[in-house]
Structure 1
Amino acid sequence: MKRPESANELTVTFFYYRDLPKAMRFYEDVLGLTLAIDQGWTKIYRICLGGHVGLVDETKGMNKWTADKPVQLCIRVSNVDDWYAYAQARKLKNLSELFANDEIGIRAFVFNDPEGYQIEIQSAIRPGT
Structure 2
Amino acid sequence: MAERPTAPHVLAITFLYYKDLPRAFAFYRDVMGLRLAIDQGDLAKIMEIAPGAHVGLVDEARGMNRWQAEKCVQLCIRVADVDGWHAYLAAEGVAGLSRIFANEAIGIRAFVCRDPEGYQIEIQQATRAGA
Shared fold by TM > 0.5?
A: yes
Structure 1 gaps, min length 5 = none
> AA paired with 2:69?
A
* 2:97 corresponds to: 95
1:90 Cα deviation from its structure 2 partner: 1.2
Aligned pairs for 1:1-129 within 5 A: 1-40=2-41, 41-129=43-131
> AA paired with 1:42?
A
> AA paired with 2:3?
K
Distance in 2 between residues matched to 1:17 and 1:36, nearest whole Å: 18
Distance in 2 between residues matched to 1:58 and 1:28, nearest whole Å: 19
Normalising by structure 1, we get a TM-score of 0.98
Distance in 2 between residues matched to 1:24 and 1:56, nearest whole Å: 9
Normalising by structure 2, we get a TM-score of 0.97
Q: Identical aligned pairs, as a percentage?
A: 60
Distance in 1 between residues matched to 2:64 and 2:113, nearest whole Å: 26
1:68 Cα deviation from its structure 2 partner: 1.0
1:92 Cα deviation from its structure 2 partner: 1.0
Distance in 2 between residues matched to 1:37 and 1:12, nearest whole Å: 11
Structure 2 gaps, min length 5 = none
Q: Counterpart of 1:115 in 2: which secondary structure?
A: coil
| Aligned pairs, number | 129
> AA paired with 2:50?
C
Runs of 4+ in 1 over 2 A off after TM superposition: none
1:3 Cα deviation from its structure 2 partner: 1.0
1:127 Cα deviation from its structure 2 partner: 1.0
**Root-mean-square deviation (Å):** 0.6
